[in-house]
Amino acid sequence: MKFTYTSNGQEHTLTLEKHGDGYRARIGEQTFEVELLGAENGAVHFRLDGVPHRARVALDGPQKRWVAVAGRTYTLEKSGPARRRGHDGGAGGGQVAAPMPGQIRAVLVAEGDEVVQGQPLLLMEAMKMEIRIAAPRAGIVAVLRAAVGATVNKDDVLVEIA
Amino acid sequence: MPLFDRILIANRGEIAVRLLRACRELGISPVAVYSEVDREALHVRLADEAILLGPAAPAESYLNMEKVIAAALQSGAAAVHPGYGFLSENAGFARRAAAAGLVFIGPPPGAIDAMGDKAAARVLMQSSGVPVVPGVQDVADDKALAKAAKDIGFPVLVKAAAGGGGKGMRVVNASADLLESAAAARREALNAFGDDRLILEKYVARGRHVEIQVLADQHGNTVHLFERECSVQRRHQKIIEETPSPLLDDDLRSAMGDAAVAAAQAVGYTNAGTVEFIVDPDTRAFYFLEMNTRLQVEHPITEAITGLDLAQWQIRIAAGERLPFQQADLTPHGHAIECRLYAEDPATGFLPSTGTLLAFDLPSGPGVRVDSGVTEGSEISVHYDPLMAKLIVHAGDRPAALRRMQTALSETVVLGVTTNREFLLDVLQHPVFAAGEATTRFIEEHLPNWRPATSVPPAALIAAALAELRAPASSNGATPAADADPYSPWARPTGFRMGGG
């Protein structure tokens, strides 16, 4: 079975195939012998080339995976055939996304406004912190999806600059 | 003297849980309050009674004096413990509680007022022999401001007289920037506090934040419980605290302790409080910054080295008990460190993060204490402070405490919400911190633009794939999709074993 995960913009492809009592894993040029020792309550216990590992794994929605192993935590984005839209750079270009979850405190522009790079567009507040969201580049405010008092999630696109 | 039968805890999160436990151990019935989003919170589950205050917004719940006092009266509580934050340093609340016949577990309102006005506190401290940062508290106009800044010498700090929490605070490095910074600080101060008076102080650029815990009963006994060093801060907020401070020797400790006791006595302080100082590590001079008239987040490390339960002593003092010890009876033991586990992302300037805790494994073992307000399944929302838990370790000496904390942090697993756990580990392992030399500028000087390890090891990918195989991730649910595959090992309560593990 083939699995593709993205982490920090880097794609990792892994194939896992049955091999004896366990699996053989292939990542790029490397192959590993994997023996599954146990899997319960979100814990995965396995031997990797004979070395025991105990990992905690959480499936967060259809694509996001959290893995804690050897004292470190990783977030992986599973790329499936299901969809690969909406992840092409997120807030790249003229899109302005919420850098944190929180509330919109002030909207400083309107649709159709011409803005210059660095011009404040919105004020957001979360957990006692106030931050200013500025235009990533000059242009016209084509779409404005923020109203004062609205609660938004991290990475929600709030403004599009054309 | 009898203690109270019931106490209302006017707070949430880890501190509400910690105070609930203090009540239980004293045989007092604890009553919780909560907002609509905290219905399932740990402090609600552990209390004898829990009263809904209102919607999530603090002004409509935890900060709403009328609702909190009404809840206390309704529950039959004799006293109110405010915890930290929210209403804890609100003299108006302390007065209203008293007027309603409730004991406010904290200092007298007059002491809160006296320490709340930073300008007045400076004057009072100076006249009580407590050293303050060189500066002026009354700057009439821009001309006076410019002259004062020149006399003090740059860099200077302009800050709001009514202030706190970093609002209305500006570091000014050169005279050219002074008036503009002062104007901005005045605007911020006016917005935040309705008061635009400023204080001008010398800025101790590479200072150490060292604070002294004090405890005072209502019979005139005031002692200090030694220091806590809290120099590792981001955005003027502490993330790691320890005691003893690696900077202090016995002479400096005793001088600072005496100053803290003098500060407390100058305002007629009772109950637990903390006097914050900035120490110049080169000259070893120390200066009063402010007094926090409440229990601090980092109080557990003082409990570890003194063996005293500060939360219980707050209650006993409020009930009129006398401290059974004097300064000479107190000796600190060993070394304690606290790390604050925050729902925040150190890689994006410590912006808060939210989500559901899909896994939450906490450390344990000798000398390890965890004060947590959340459990697996808890929702971390945007409404409140992002502190999830505090890890506290106690060991014989600093190197042993550092190793113990590293082990504790390594055992901690948080999935579902981004935390500062790995950042904390990197701070502990940094040679400057390990040498005990971190200043308040440590993070910006030594760990700017911090990023977590970027390379993903094979073991992480394989673990994810194995979990996938075992639990086809067809659902959107936060928990493994056991229902999708009746043969999945995740579905079985007894777990799953193969390959002789």
In chain A, whose CA is at the least distance from the CA of B385?
Answer: A127
Residues of chain B contacting A154 with CB distance shorter than 8 Å = 353-354
Closest CA to B188 of B165, B156, B216, B217: B165
Say if the Cβ atoms of A30 and B466 lie within 8 Å.
Answer: no
Q: What is the per-residue pLDDT for B119?
A: 86
What would the two tokens of residue A34 be? Answer: 């994997």
Q: What is the per-residue pLDDT for B165?
A: 61
Q: How far is A41 from chain B (nearest CA, A)?
A: 6
Closest CA to A62 of A75, A74, A80, A44: A80
Average pLDDT over residues A96-103: 86
Q: What is the per-residue pLDDT for A117?
A: 84
Chain A CB within 8 Å of residue B386 CB: yes
- Chains A, B: CB pairs < 8 Å: 204
HEC per residue, B315-373: HHHHCCCCCCCCHHHCCCCCEEEEEEEECEEHHHCCEECCEECCEEECCCCCCEEEEEC
Fold of A95-161: OB fold (Dihydrolipoamide Acetyltransferase, E2P) (2.40.50)
Q: What is the per-residue pLDDT for B472?
A: 53
Bridge partner residues of A60 (DSSP): A64
pLDDT band at A88 (very low <50, low <70, confident <90, very high): very low
CA dihedral B241, B383, B79, B1 (to 10 degrees): -20
- Is the pLDDT confidence value at B387 over 50? yes
In chain A, whose CA is at the least distance from the CA of B415?
Answer: A66
Sheet holding B79-81, edge to edge: B49-54, B29-35, B6-9, B79-81, B103-104
Residues of chain B contacting A10 with CB distance shorter than 8 Å = 454, 456
- Is the pLDDT confidence value at A57 over 50? yes
> Dihedral of CA B17/B23/B27/B30: which sign?
negative
CB environment B422-453: b (16+ within 10 A), e (fewer)? bbbbbbbebeebeebebbbebbeebbeeeebe
pLDDT band at A90 (very low <50, low <70, confident <90, very high): very low
Q: What is the per-residue pLDDT for A128?
A: 63
CB-based contacts of B243-248 (< 8 A; 24+ apart in sequence): B243/B301, B243/B302, B243/B304, B243/B305, B243/B332, B243/B335, B243/B336, B244/B305, B244/B332, B244/B335, B245/B208, B245/B210, B246/B398, B246/B435, B246/B436, B246/B437, B247/B208, B247/B210, B247/B279, B247/B281, B247/B436, B248/B210
3-state percent helix, strand, coil for chain A, nearest multiple of 5: 0, 60, 40
Q: How far is A19 from chain B (nearest CA, A)?
A: 13
- Is the pLDDT confidence value at B496 over 60? no
The backbone torsions φ and ψ at residue B228, rounded to the nearest 5 degrees and listed phi first, read -135, 130
What would the two tokens of residue B276 be? Answer: 């914050």
Assigned CATH for A2-78: 3.30.700.30
User: How high is the ipTM of this complex?
Assistant: 0.81
| Rounded distance between C-alpha atoms, residue A20 and residue A35, angstroms | 9
In chain B, whose CA is at the least distance from the CA of A37?
Answer: B501
Contact B418, B345 (CB under 8 A): yes
Q: Is B498 left (phi over 0), alpha (psi -120 to 50) or beta?
A: beta
Q: What is the per-residue pLDDT for B495?
A: 35
Chain A CB within 8 Å of residue B276 CB: no
pLDDT band at A150 (very low <50, low <70, confident <90, very high): confident
Best residue in A72, A127, A129 for a mutation probing chain B (most B CBs within 10 Å): A127
- Other beta carbons within 10 angstroms of residue B398's beta carbon come to 17
Axis-axis angle for helices B118-127, B109-116 (nearest 10): 100
Instruction: Give B455 or B72, the one with higher predicted confidence.
Output: B72
Say if the Cβ atoms of A100 and B467 lie within 8 Å.
Answer: no
Q: How far is A112 from chain B (nearest CA, A)?
A: 30
pLDDT band at B166 (very low <50, low <70, confident <90, very high): low
pLDDT digits (tens, 9 = 90+) for B35-69: 999 999 999 999 999 999 999 999 999 999 999 99
Q: What is the per-residue pLDDT for B173?
A: 92
> Dihedral of CA B251/B252/B255/B260: which sign?
negative
Measure CA of the first residue to CA of the last residue in chain A; give whole Å. 42
Bridge partner residues of B360 (DSSP): B414
Chain A CB within 8 Å of residue B383 CB: yes
Average pLDDT over residues B8-18: 98
What would the two tokens of residue B264 be? Answer: 């407390």
- Is the pLDDT confidence value at B486 over 50? no
Q: How far is A151 from chain B (nearest CA, A)?
A: 9
Average pLDDT over residues B391-403: 98
Which residue among A7, A48, A56 sits closest to B462, beta carbon to beta carbon? A48
pLDDT digits (tens, 9 = 90+) for B325-369: 999 999 999 999 999 999 999 998 899 999 999 999 999 999 999
pLDDT digits (tens, 9 = 90+) for B188-212: 888 777 888 888 999 988 899 999 9
Q: Supply the mean pLDDT for chain A.
A: 86
What would the two tokens of residue A124 be? Answer: 């957001």
Say if the Cβ atoms of B358 and A66 lie within 8 Å.
Answer: yes
| Rounded distance between C-alpha atoms, residue B158 and residue B186, angstroms | 9
CA dihedral B252, B253, B258, B259 (to 10 degrees): 70
| Rounded distance between C-alpha atoms, residue B88 and residue B294, angstroms | 6
Question: Domains plus CATH for chain B?
Answer: 6-105 (3.40.50.20), 134-202 (3.30.1490.20), 208-446 (3.30.470.20)
Q: Residues B5, B35, B363, CA angle at the centre, nearest 5°?
A: 80
Burial of B254 (0-12, 13-18, 19+ CB in 10 A): middle
B308 SS3 class: coil
pLDDT digits (tens, 9 = 90+) for B206-229: 899 999 999 999 999 999 999 999
Sheet holding A157-161, edge to edge: A95-97, A157-161, A139-144, A114-115
- Is the pLDDT confidence value at B491 over 70? no
Closest CA to B17 of B46, B39, B37, B40: B46
Which residue among A32, A56, A60 sits closest to B361, beta carbon to beta carbon? A56
Percent of chain B predicted with pLDDT > 90 = 80
* Strand ranges, E, within B173-316: 198-202, 208-216, 222-234, 237-243, 271-279, 286-292
Chain A CB within 8 Å of residue B144 CB: no
Instruction: Enumerate residues 302 to 361 of chain B having a beta carbon within 8 A of any beta carbon in chain A.
Output: 348, 351-355, 358-359, 361
What would the two tokens of residue B63 be? Answer: 């900060």
Contact B83, B16 (CB under 8 A): yes
Whether the predicted model's global pTM rises above the 0.90 cut? no
Residues of chain B contacting A126 with CB distance shorter than 8 Å = 351-352, 382
Which residue is associated with the tokens 């914050």?
Answer: B276
Instruction: Enumerate residues 231 to 250 of chain B having a beta carbon within 8 A of any beta carbon in chain A.
Output: 235
Percent of chain A predicted with pLDDT > 70 = 90
- What residue spans define the domains of chain A? 2-78, 95-161
Which residue among A27, A100, A153 sits closest to B352, beta carbon to beta carbon? A100
Q: How far is A53 from chain B (nearest CA, A)?
A: 8
Lowest-confidence region among B163-177, B194-208, B242-256:
B163-177
Chain A CB within 8 Å of residue B466 CB: yes
Residues of chain B contacting A151 with CB distance shorter than 8 Å = 382
Percent of chain A predicted with pLDDT > 90 = 47
| Rounded distance between C-alpha atoms, residue B308 and residue B444, angstroms | 35
B271 SS3 class: strand
pLDDT band at B435 (very low <50, low <70, confident <90, very high): very high
In chain B, whose CA is at the least distance from the CA of A128?
Answer: B385
Closest CA to B321 of B225, B224, B214, B215: B215
Contact B14, B373 (CB under 8 A): yes
Say if the Cβ atoms of A74 and B499 lie within 8 Å.
Answer: no
Say if the Cβ atoms of A68 and B489 lie within 8 Å.
Answer: no
- Other beta carbons within 10 angstroms of residue B153's beta carbon come to 10
In chain B, whose CA is at the least distance from the CA of A28?
Answer: B458
Say if the Cβ atoms of B463 and A127 lie within 8 Å.
Answer: no
Query: Which residues lie below 8 Å from residue B444, measured CB to CB, with a gap of 6+?
Result: none
Which residue among A16, A35, A58 sits closest to B415, beta carbon to beta carbon? A58
